[in-house]
A = this chain, B = another copy of it.
Amino acid sequence: MNQIDAMERLVNQFSCLPGVGKKTAQRYAYFLLTMPENDVKDFADAIVQAKQQIHYCKVCGNFTDRDICSICAKPNKAPIICVVKEPKDVTALEKVRDFSGSYHVLHGVINPLENKGPNDINIRSLLTRINEEHIEEVIVATNPDVEGEATAQYIANLLKPLGVKVSRIAQGISMGSELEYTDAITLSKALSSRTEM
């Protein structure tokens, strides 16, 4: 049953993608089989080429196809580094367009349950950057969960002795949300971090 082999192999590959189960993988596979052969080759090429061309920026750890990513290569950046967990967080923050500093991608957070300590994430090079790039402020923008908070605290403790300002992105209720449906921890944060009007 070679047919089942090629098909099953494709379905299994799609099942590896995040959030994709067997049914969805099958749907993708059937769709690909109905596409023209050239389009399917383009699809496969795009996958291989993206993987071959894109690697980590030497400075900040974001994805790039050069030695240094386009954000790090910009001249006249503000002396601020925004620390994030993953490259996709950079994409999210870049959409805002009102941050003119650079980023630093940790590629993970400190997580004792997964045996991930400070040495397993990209923190060491952050220290070098603070000196070399004369950084004045580090904004820690890890996610507001237990691991993200712990990592933020660790970074703050590490950097404050160097005389650099360390800040954390604000936590509170999100725009457009309703108090009624907001969870208690978020409400509590929103209250304690209230700002004067």
- A residues bordering B, Cβ < 8 Å? 1-3, 6-7, 9-10, 12-13, 16-20, 24, 26-33, 35, 37, 39-54, 63-66, 69-70, 86-88, 91
Copies in the complex: 2
- Residues B32 and A43 in contact, CB atoms below 8 Å apart: no
- Residues A54 and B1 in contact, CB atoms below 8 Å apart: no
- Residues A7 and B37 in contact, CB atoms below 8 Å apart: no
- Residues B26 and A91 in contact, CB atoms below 8 Å apart: yes
Q: Give chain B residues whose Cβ lies under 8 Å from the Cβ of A40.
A: 47-48, 51
- Residues B88 and A50 in contact, CB atoms below 8 Å apart: no
- Residues B66 and A51 in contact, CB atoms below 8 Å apart: no
Minimal beta-carbon separation of A11 from chain B (angstroms): 9
- Residues B87 and A50 in contact, CB atoms below 8 Å apart: no
Do A54 and B7 form a contact, CB below 8 Å, given A40-B48, A46-B13?
yes
Q: Give chain B residues whose Cβ lies under 8 Å from the Cβ of A35.
A: 16, 51
- Among A3, A26, A32, find the residue whose CB has the most chain B CB atoms closer than 10 A: A3
- Residues B33 and A54 in contact, CB atoms below 8 Å apart: yes
- Complex partner residue of A87 from B20, B30, B88, CB under 8 angstroms: B30
